[in-house]
């Protein structure tokens, strides 16, 4: 029985962390199970695993384990409630909007005139694209956080959520930093820190729930693009000076 349970746990672990593993010690009478047909592959990834039905549940048993004493294993995504998922998604979007409000509050009266006057690289997207991209990214971040939050309690989950809190805090501080200080080199260096944290966050989420890690990839890619864009802005506008006599490089 110990060897059978070890095999089941190993098969589940091979799919990556974050899947709910339910191992039930079976003293199930054979009469209650339908004859188990051979399956080409079970959700556990075990070739020719046997499948039995018990009280409407599908039980996947690796080959070589008798039905008279086995561990039934169910693999599934973490159970998400609609309310909690929506709270994570819209909470993340709302926090992003709040960051925009704060950045506007910190802006000087001529901030948009200053920004419009910056020399920009040819490959910079139009201004209208940024809001759309961020709306999608914040929704993905919120859903990925919901997946991790709904997973089984573990040190890895706690660590992943701390990474998320740090990533979101750094992200929401960027706009006030960029528009409030107008120091392009400081904003570019901040983006590097953001990118490092985003990569670490994606990895931490992926260790808890693989789908959550994959949902983080578009955000990592966008932060990488934004980092390159901010460094390009700094390079193209290095000689611009701030009133009264402040140089943007002071923030380096």
The CA distance from 201 to 137, in Å, is 14
pLDDT of residue 107: 65
- pTM, 2 dp: 0.62
The yes-or-no verdict on residue 201 having pLDDT over 90 is yes
On whether the CB atoms of residues 49 and 63 are closer than 8 A, the answer is yes
Residue by residue, DSSP assigns 157-199 as HHHHHHHHHHHHHHHHHHHHHHHHH--HHHHHHHHHHHHHHHH
Least confident of 14-23, 78-87, 104-113, 208-217: 14-23
**How would residue 243 be classed by pLDDT, with cut points 50, 70 and 90?**
low
Task: Please state the separation of Cα 132 from the chain's center in Å.
Answer: 19
Question: Between 202 and 180, where is the model more confident?
Answer: 202
Closest CA to 46 of 59, 33, 56: 59
The chain-wide mean pLDDT, for the chain, equals 70
pLDDT of residue 233: 95
E-strand stretches of the chain: 22-25, 50-54, 57-61, 71-74, 241-242, 246-247
Question: Between 149 and 103, where is the model more confident?
Answer: 149
pLDDT of residue 68: 36
On whether the CB atoms of residues 181 and 251 are closer than 8 A, the answer is yes
Residue with tokens 């930093």: 177
Query: Average pLDDT in the 36-62 region?
Result: 44
Which class is domain 82-251? mainly alpha
The domain spans of the chain are: 2-74, 82-251
The CA distance from 191 to 185, in Å, is 10
pLDDT of residue 67: 37
Q: Which residues contact 244 (CB under 8 A, 6 or more apart)?
A: none
């Amino acid at each position: 029985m110990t060897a059978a349970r070890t095999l089941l746990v190993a098969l589940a672990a091979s799919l990556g962390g974050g899947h709910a593993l339910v191992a039930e010690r079976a003293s199930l009478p054979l009469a209650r199970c339908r004859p188990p047909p051979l399956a080409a592959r079970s959700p556990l990834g075990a070739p020719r695993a046997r499948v039995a039905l018990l009280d409407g549940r599908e039980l996947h048993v690796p080959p070589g384990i008798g039905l008279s004493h086995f561990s039934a294993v169910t693999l599934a995504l973490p159970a998400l409630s609609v309310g909690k998922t929506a709270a994570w998604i819209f909470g993340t979007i709302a926090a992003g909007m709040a960051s925009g409000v704060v950045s506007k509050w910190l802006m000087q009266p001529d901030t948009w005139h200053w920004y419009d006057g910056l020399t920009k690289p040819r490959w910079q997207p139009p201004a209208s694209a940024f809001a759309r991209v961020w709306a999608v990214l914040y929704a993905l971040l919120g859903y990925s956080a919901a997946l991790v939050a709904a997973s089984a309690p573990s040190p890895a989950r706690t660590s992943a959520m701390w990474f998320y809190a740090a990533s979101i805090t750094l992200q929401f501080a960027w706009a006030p930093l960029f528009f409030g200080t107008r120091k392009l080199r400081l904003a570019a260096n901040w983006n590097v820190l953001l990118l490092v944290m985003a990569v670490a966050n994606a990895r931490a989420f992926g260790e808890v729930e693989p789908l959550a890690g994959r949902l983080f990839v578009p955000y990592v890619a966008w932060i990488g693009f934004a980092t390159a864009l901010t460094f390009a802005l700094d390079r193209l506008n290095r000689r611009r000076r701030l009133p009264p006599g402040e140089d943007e490089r002071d923030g380096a």
